[in-house]
C-alpha cells in the first residue's frame, strides 16, 4: 500500500502521451544567450525577462547592498517580523507606479492572484473569468468559494449574456481578466470590459503580469496605456517578468489593500520575501520607469521577429499584438519535433507548450530587449530551415 505504484503509472501515461516535462539546468545568468549544464550554449527565446533586467549590474548591486544591510532572510511573515523599511518603500513606490493609493507585495504573482481573489471575493459572489486566464487566477477563484462563470476567450457578448442571466443571483459580481494572455500573446478588450462592468455593476480585477514593464509610457501596463484606471482600480502585477526579479503585487484603493493584508492567506501565512529581492526590485522599478528605450528595443525586436516569420507560409502565427510570438502546430508530436530540432540543431531554446497548459500545441517565442538584430534574424532563418518538417495548418483551425 505504501509503495506509491500509482505514481509510476501516472508518469508512464504522461510519457506515452508526449506530455512528460523534463527540466533543463542553466549554469549562467539569464540573458539573450545562456549556457546549460553540460556546456551547451543556447539562444534564449523562452524567458519572460522582457527588458533584459535580470542580469543588470545596478540591480545586482542593489540586491547585494540589501543583503549586506539586512542579511539573507526576512525572519518572519509580513504580519510578524518580516516587514523591513525596504518592503514599506517598495509598496509605496509600486502604488505610485500604478497610480493607486496603495499596494501590497507578495512572494510571487501566483501568490498575489490566489491571495487577492480569495480575500476580495466570497462564496455568495460570482466571478466571470476569461477561459484563458492564468492558472493562478483559476486557483484564486477556487479558493474564494464563489460561483465561477467562464466566458469564451475575449468574447464580450458571451460575457454579457452570462451576466444578464446570472448577475441577480449573487451578492456581488466580479470580472477578472489577464490583460496580456501569456500563451497566445493577445490582449483583453479592456475598454469593452470596463463598459460592461459599469453597465452591470460589476467589480473588475485586471492581471497585468505580462504587460507590466512592457506597455504604458512608464511601463505599468495596458491599463495605463489606455488610460483605463477608473474601470480597473484593482490591478495585479509581477516583478518576475519584465522586472527581472521575482514577486507579485496588487495595487488599488487603500481600503482594498488593507483588507487584502488582513485576509489573503498567501500573504499572511508565508515568510516575507527576503530584503535582497526587495532591494533588487526597487532598483529594477527605477530602470523600468526610466527605460522607455528598453521597451522600444523590445518592441523593435518583436516586430522584426514576427514580420520575418510571417513571410514563411508554413507557419501559423498569432497576430502581432504583444512581444509574445506564437507558432501553432497540428499536433503535440509536430510541436515536439520542432522544439527538439530548434534545440539540438539550431541551439535555440524555445520549448513547445503542450496540453494541459494549452489546448493546441505551440512554440512560444519571447524576444527580449537585449537580443541583437543578428539573434533575431538567426531565429527567422532557423524556422526557414526547419519548415521542411512543418505541415501547414489547414485553414479553419482556430487558435
Ligand X SMILES: Cc1ncc(COP(=O)(O)O)c(C=O)c1O
Is-cis flag, bond preceding 356, omega within 30? yes
Residues forming beta bridges with residue 42, ordered by sequence position: 34
Which residue of this chain has its Cβ atom nearest to ligand X in the complex?
A: 109
Neighbours of 189 (CB within 10 A): 16
Asked whether 253 and 102 are in contact (CB, 8 A), the reply is yes
Q: Which is nearer to ligand X, 107 or 361 (CB)?
A: 107
Q: Closest separation between CB of residue 184 and ligand X, Å?
A: 11
DSSP H or E stretch at residue 42: strand 41-44
Q: Closest separation between CB of residue 45 and ligand X, Å?
A: 16
The pairing of beta strand 316-317 with beta strand 203-207: unpaired
Q: Which is nearer to ligand X, 48 or 231 (CB)?
A: 48
Query: Could you tell me the three cell numbers for 253?
Result: 484603493
Q: Closest separation between CB of residue 106 and ligand X, Å?
A: 9
Q: Closest separation between CB of residue 302 and ligand X, Å?
A: 17
What is the C-alpha to C-alpha distance for residues 62 and 239, in angstroms, rounded to an integer? 15
DSSP H or E stretch at residue 338: helix 332-346
Q: Closest separation between CB of residue 179 and ligand X, Å?
A: 8
Query: Could you tell me the three cell numbers for 309?
Result: 516569420
Residues in the chain, overall count: 399
**How many alpha carbons fall within 13 Å on the CB side of residue 155?**
13
Query: Could you tell me the three cell numbers for 168?
Result: 441577480
Q: Which is nearer to ligand X, 140 or 194 (CB)?
A: 140
Phi, psi angles (nearest 5°) of residue 149: -120, 125
Residue with cell 527605477: 286
Give the binding site for ligand X (CB under 6 A).
Answer: 108-110, 113, 134, 136, 178, 182, 207, 209-210, 238, 240, 248
Q: Closest separation between CB of residue 237 and ligand X, Å?
A: 9
Q: Which is nearer to ligand X, 53 or 315 (CB)?
A: 53
Q: Closest separation between CB of residue 374 and ligand X, Å?
A: 28
Q: Closest separation between CB of residue 131 and ligand X, Å?
A: 14
Q: Which is nearer to ligand X, 46 or 240 (CB)?
A: 240
Q: Which is nearer to ligand X, 267 or 383 (CB)?
A: 267
Residue with cell 521542411: 388
Q: Which is nearer to ligand X, 26 or 304 (CB)?
A: 26
DSSP 250-303: EEE-HHHHHHHHHH-HHHHTSBPPPHHHHHHHHHHHHHHHH-HHHHHHHHHHHH
Q: Which is nearer to ligand X, 115 or 279 (CB)?
A: 115
Amino acid at each position: 500500500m505504501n509503495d506509491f505504484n500509482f505514481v509510476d503509472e501516472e508518469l508512464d501515461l504522461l510519457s506515452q502521451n508526449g506530455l512528460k516535462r523534463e527540466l533543463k539546468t542553466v549554469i549562467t545568468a539569464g540573458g539573450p544567450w545562456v549556457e546549460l549544464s553540460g556546456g551547451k550554449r543556447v539562444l534564449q527565446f523562452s524567458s519572460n525577462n522582457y527588458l533584459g533586467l535580470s542580469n543588470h549590474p545596478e540591480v545586482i548591486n542593489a540586491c547585494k547592498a540589501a543583503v549586506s544591510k539586512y542579511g539573507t532572510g526576512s525572519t518572519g511573515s509580513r504580519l510578524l517580523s518580516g516587514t523591513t523599511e525596504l518592503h514599506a518603500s517598495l509598496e509605496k513606490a509600486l502604488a505610485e507606479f500604478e497610480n493607486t493609493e496603495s499596494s501590497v507585495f507578495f512572494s510571487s504573482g501566483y501568490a498575489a492572484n490566489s491571495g487577492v481573489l480569495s480575500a476580495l471575493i466570497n462564496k455568495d459572489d460570482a466571478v466571470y473569468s476569461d477561459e484563458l486566464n492564468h492558472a493562478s487566477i483559476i486557483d484564486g477563484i477556487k479558493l474564494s468559494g464563489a460561483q465561477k462563470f467562464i466566458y469564451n476567450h475575449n468574447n464580450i457578448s458571451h460575457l454579457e449574456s452570462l451576466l444578464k442571466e446570472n448577475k441577480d443571483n449573487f451578492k456581488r459580481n466580479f470580472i477578472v481578466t489577464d490583460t496580456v494572455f501569456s500563451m497566445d500573446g493577445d490582449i483583453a478588450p479592456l475598454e469593452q470590459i470596463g463598459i460592461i462592468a459599469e453597465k452591470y455593476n460589476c467589480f473588475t480585477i485586471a492581471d497585468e503580469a505580462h504587460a507590466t514593464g512592457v506597455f504604458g509610457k512608464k511601463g505599468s501596463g495596458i491599463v495605463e496605456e489606455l488610460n483605463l484606471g477608473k474601470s480597473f482600480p484593482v490591478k495585479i502585477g509581477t516583478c518576475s517578468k519584465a522586472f527581472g526579479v521575482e514577486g507579485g503585487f496588487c495595487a488599488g484603493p487603500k481600503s482594498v489593500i488593507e483588507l487584502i493584508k488582513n485576509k489573503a492567506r498567501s500573504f499572511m501565512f508565508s515568510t516575507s520575501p527576503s530584503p535582497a529581492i526587495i532591494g533588487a526590485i526597487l532598483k529594477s522599478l527605477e530602470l523600468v520607469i526610466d527605460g522607455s528605450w528598453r521597451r522600444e528595443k523590445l518592441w523593435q525586436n518583436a516586430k522584426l521577429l514576427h514580420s520575418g516569420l510571417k513571410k514563411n507560409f508554413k507557419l501559423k502565427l498569432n497576430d502581432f499584438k504583444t512581444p509574445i510570438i506564437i507558432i501553432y502546430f497540428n499536433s503535440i508530436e509536430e510541436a515536439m519535433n520542432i522544439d527538439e530540432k530548434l534545440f539540438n540543431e539550431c541551439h535555440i531554446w524555445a520549448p513547445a507548450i503542450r496540453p494541459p497548459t494549452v489546448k493546441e500545441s505551440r512554440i512560444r517565442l519571447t524576444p527580449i530587449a537585449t537580443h541583437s538584430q543578428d539573434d533575431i534574424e538567426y531565429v527567422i532563418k532557423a524556422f526557414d530551415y526547419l519548415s521542411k518538417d512543418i505541415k501547414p495548418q489547414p485553414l479553419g483551425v482556430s487558435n
